[in-house]
Amino acid sequence: MTIKELFDTMEYGPAPESAAEALAWLVDQGDRFGHFIDGAFTAPGDGFDSRNPATGEVLATLTQATQTDVDAAVAAARKAQLKWAALGGAGRARYLYAIARLMQKHSRLFAVLETLDNGKPIRESRDIDIPLAQRHFYYHAGMAQLMESELPDAEPLGVCGQIIPWNFPLLMLAWKVAPALAMGNTVVLKPAEYTSLTALLFADICQQAGLPKGVVNIVTGDGGVGEMIVASDVDKIAFTGSTAVGRRIREATSGRGLELTLELGGKSAYIVFDDADIDSAIEGLVDAIWFNQGQVCCAGSRLLVQEGIADRFHTKLRARMDGLRLGNPLDKCIDVGAVVDPVQLQTIERMVASNTAGQVHRAACTLPENGCYYPPTLITGLSTSDPLMQEEIFGPVLVSTTFRTPAEAVELANNTRYGLAATVWTENVNLALDIAPKLVAGVVWVNATNLFDAAAGFGGVRESGFGREGGWEGLAAYTRPKGKRKALARIEPASGHGAPVDPIDRTAKLYVGGKQARPDGGYSRPVWGKSGLLGHVGLANRKDVRNAVEAASGAAGWARTTGHLRAQILYYIGENLSARAAEFAHRIDSMTGKRSGAKEVEASIQRLFTAAAWADKYDGQVHGVPIRGVALAMKEPVGVIGALCADEAPLLGLVSVMAPAIAMGNRVVLAASEPYPLAATDFYQILDTSDVPAGVVNILTGSHAELAKPLASHLNVDAVWSFSSTDLSAEIEKAASGNLKRTWVNNATSLDWSVDHSKRFLQAATEIKNIWVPYGE
Ligand code: NAI
């Protein structure tokens, strides 16, 4: 070929990476692997083959873990944990650092093994997966070092069960193992059955680093092994994978007092405005949907392009697709490699075949004869209700529709049950920064896509799961506040008889949408104190819950108010309560029969002032990520929070929940103390006189057991908390699995309300959205 011809065709030859070292490592291990338990590999047992999806060749044989294996792994992790935590942050940092160094030293081996096992282009495993995995260990070595000084109130959870998928095998391991170890936990990890090899190489690295035995345990096998881990005696489950399995895990763990983080699926929008740099946006799309063959939870799989440029954009996109090189993943010139397994390939084929809408364009590449390959595909002209616009395909298939205005773009982008990521492409920085906060997603990239770093938390909202991985925010998933918890003591409403203290009928109503409302069922109950009948309260039912949630949903404008305004309203509530302090104290004393009312009212006023103080100061962060640009970690309200308030502290329990939640822009539906509800019903008079907009705070009275399920299963409730003296943790967590809402339940223990937990409440009342804004030319 002449040089002129070369310039004309831009043709270039293959540049294959050698598989020799990785294959030699497999031979070295005997091609058969057991598990890594208590610092050593077990003898290989019955199992299954791990294949190279690009060729179908068997790479190694893996062992399917039995119940005995899982029990042994959990026992080893349990045995090692206290000693590992006792090493201190600085002690643990040295091991994490050693692991990072060894991963760096063997990075090419890791990259080639990953590509052989998963089918992803070597370009990606070499330049993205493996360096990012190392970075997680370096970063978290630093977090271990800083734990005592920066997180003095945090302690490790204990043993963490970690279940990871096959799309980023080593990277997902790093995201899970590094923070867990840094914070003093030990782990039992299960890699996905298709891609366990780099996890086993990682086990080898742990041995080389001299990591104390039992700190990292790795068991291999299918979903059944995952189920065994979920059922075992661990303190936390961290899961990344499909939403369906995530939901099953939520159900299986409900009521067991386990911490849980779920990083699930997505159908992330990729929004291109008409002023965008089109060529860059198209290159971005190549990374958004053809990176890792589209098998990326945050893949920009839903293209939304502004109508005026749609034709030009799609034409250019099709031309770019036709230039993509698909083939041997070990070839350094390849853009698109193999899909992970024939099963996944069939899923993609089935989903695309079931679609009859729109126009399909398949990239003009030739598929290799063998191996799991699927061509880059674009389907234009779909409408929002088409299944392929809603369902996660998890393959190299992009679906596309158009929009006219920015508002319509936001509406279309948010028209999904998921909320993992989104991309905004425009040359107008004001537009980008206006749109980014409106997108319901955990991560937003501006004029870039699929940027990740250990310093910036990653995770979703809605059915994309909960919890963050990475950054300071990710550490919360591996720690809990220090301090002993008291066992829960159920408080029954007092019974009595005789004449009312006050001859006038005092039946306190519910407080819904800024108005007093009679309970739907028309029932009430007497509230007795030591001195006699204090009044009656309405018994709310599921219909009242629905009304209250509707009112709270309607008050969404509260989230858009400024912290400055919310602070003033909270101060105002505090002042108004202060003016009626003696009356409230008397009310509390007469209900509880104690003399703690004055103290409780004073503490409630302080909680209100503290929340007011934080309302305009609980700021986000700017993460220093290794790009020319920033990741803005913005704190956003969770949305509508339903809470069963503490029974033992009728006013303080309610205020301690309400104040930080509304300070952050949430709306709340509060079930008042069940035995002592009258302080809450008096309190809405304070709200009425304090400029709290209707629907921001809604107060129900009645049985917590009756209200828990409708609150936890309501699809417009984003989080449910329970501090009730009735332990409703199991019911709530189970009912919450429907839309995977966040939960904070007491697991039969109670908080000490005399202690100010405002920071914990502020944290639970906010979601962190990381908005990546690169800069430069
Ligand atoms: P999956 O969710 O079934 O598997 C992920 C991990 O969970 C694997 O390690 C698996 O062995 C384990 N697992 C499976 N069932 C389990 C159970 N009942 N209890 C505990 N652990 C269990 O995902 P799969 O089948 O590999 O892929 C199916 C679909 O899931 C894909 O087509 C894709 O749509 C989605 N997916 C999403 C991922 C994400 O990162 N969001 C990652 C992988 C898959």
Q: What is the DSSP string of 111-157?
A: HHHHHHHH---HHHIIIIIHHHHHHHHHHHHHHHHHHHHH-TTEEE-
Token readout for 192 is: 């996905």
Task: Identify the pLDDT of residue 525.
Answer: 95
Q: Write the DSSP string, 693-750.
A: PTTSEEEE-S-HHHHHHHHHH-TT--EEEE--SS--HHHHHHHTTTTT-EEEE-TTEE
Atom 35 (ligand 1): residue with closest C-alpha? 242
* Confidence at 420, pLDDT banded by 50, 70, 90: very high
C-alpha to C-alpha distance for 288 and 665, rounded to whole angstroms: 32
Q: Which of 117, 219, 242 to mutate to test the pocket of ligand 1 (most atoms within 8 A of CB)?
A: 242
pLDDT at 28 (0 to 100): 94
Q: Does 750 score more than 80 pLDDT?
A: yes
- C-alpha 663/C-alpha 638 separation (Å) is 12
Show the ligand 1 pocket: residues with CB < 6 angstroms. 163-167, 190, 192-193, 222-223, 226-227, 230, 240-242, 245, 248-249, 264-265, 297, 347, 392, 394
Question: How many angstroms does the Cα of residue 640 sit away from the middle of ligand 1?
Answer: 29
Q: Given this model, what pLDDT does residue 7 score?
A: 81
Q: Catalytic residues, which ones?
A: 263
Q: Decide if pLDDT at 642 tops 80.
A: yes
Say if residues 464 and 242 touch (Cβ distance below 8 Å).
no
Residue 777 has pLDDT above 70, yes or no: no
**What's the pLDDT score for residue 128?**
98
pLDDT for 13:
81
- For residue range 104-129, list pLDDT tens digits in order: 999 999 999 999 999 999 999 999 99
Query: Is the pLDDT confidence value at 478 over 80?
Result: yes
Higher per-residue confidence, 624 vs 346 = 346
Mean pLDDT value across residues 567-591: 98
First to last CA, the chain: 36
How far is Cα 28 from Cα 476, in angstroms, rounded to an integer? 40
pLDDT digits over 698-727, tens only? 999 999 999 999 999 999 999 999 999 999
Nearest atom within ligand 1 for CA of residue 347: 32
* Closest atom, ligand 1, to C-alpha of 344: 32
Residue 501: pLDDT over 70? no
Structure tokens at 370: 């063998």
Q: Is the pLDDT of residue 499 over 80?
A: no
> What atom of ligand 1 comes closest to residue 229's alpha carbon?
20
pTM above 0.90, yes or no: yes
Residue from 694, 646, 635 nearest 670 by CA: 646
Instruction: Give the list of residues 6+ apart from residue 322 with CB closer than 8 angstroms, or none.
Output: 363, 364, 365
Q: 612, 629 in Cβ contact below 8 A?
A: no
pLDDT(504) > 80: no
| β pairing state of 216-218 and 236-240 | unpaired
ipTM of the complex: 0.96
Q: Which of 198, 232, 245, 268 to mutate for ligand 1's pocket (most ligand atoms within 8 Å of CB)? A: 245
Which pLDDT value is given to residue 776? 75
pLDDT computed for residue 506 by the predictor: 78
Give residue 636's pLDDT.
97
227 CB burial (10 A radius; 0-12, 13-18, 19+): middle
> Region 381-406: what's the mean pLDDT?
96
The candidate with the shortest Cα–Cα distance to 200, out of 54, 404, 62, is 62
Burial of 619 (C-beta count, 10 Å sphere; 0-12/13-18/19+): exposed
CA-closest candidate to residue 247, choices 230, 228, 235: 230
Alpha carbons 673 and 681: distance in angstroms, whole number = 10
Q: How far is the CA of 349 from the centre of ligand 1 (A)?
A: 18
Query: Average of pLDDT values for 551-574?
Result: 98
pLDDT score, position 503 = 66
Residue nearest atom 28 of ligand 1, based on CA coordinates? 242
Q: What value does the mean pLDDT take over residues 208-222?
A: 98
**Distance of alpha carbon 79 from the chain centroid:** 29
